[in-house]
Amino acid sequence: MASLNVGNLGEYLREQRRNAQLSLRQLADAAGVSNPYLSQIERGLRKPSAEVLQQVAKALRISAETLYVRAGILDAERDRDDVETRAVLLADPSLNERQKQVLLQIYESFRKENGFGIGEPATHEDAGNDENGSGTADEGTGGTAVRGTRTADDAGPRRTAG
């Protein structure tokens, strides 16, 4: 029971840090966390929050969602497509950082609209209705209703009259 089951995360972080040719101290500084804390994460002694993982991922220039899965914050099976989609968006060299963030925000808003949140499970109401609504939720999201930096709130596919 003493194990936090984050050894896989720590090993992965160490590997990514070494691939980026960063010392532990350099990564800690870039991520805004203490050197000892990052060391404990790498050794599997601490389970970092999603916020810390996001900071570390940004410093390493890798997908935060990949770290979320490795830390057990996201369900690997259910969210594999989500993680892969985000990784592809983040890796696209033809997009600048602002464009990537806008696309991720739009993508996240559509996922939330369809009952899937980032770093949190589907809401209780959505989880109960998932089997009934999952087949039709995609139909209204593929159009051009979202422009610029607007979110899916402006482009909801369903409207009820009265």
pTM: 0.48
68-115 residue pLDDT tens = 888 888 776 666 677 788 888 888 889 999 999 999 999 989 988 887
35-79 residue pLDDT tens = 999 999 999 999 999 899 999 999 999 988 888 888 888 776 666
Contact 89, 95 (CB under 8 A): yes
Q: Is the pLDDT of residue 19 over 80?
A: yes
Q: Is the pLDDT of residue 148 over 80?
A: no
pLDDT recorded at residue 113: 85
Task: Give the list of residues 6+ apart from residue 77 with CB closer than 8 angstroms, or none.
Answer: none
Sign of the dihedral defined by the CA atoms of residues 15, 44, 27, 24, in that order:
negative
pLDDT recorded at residue 7: 54
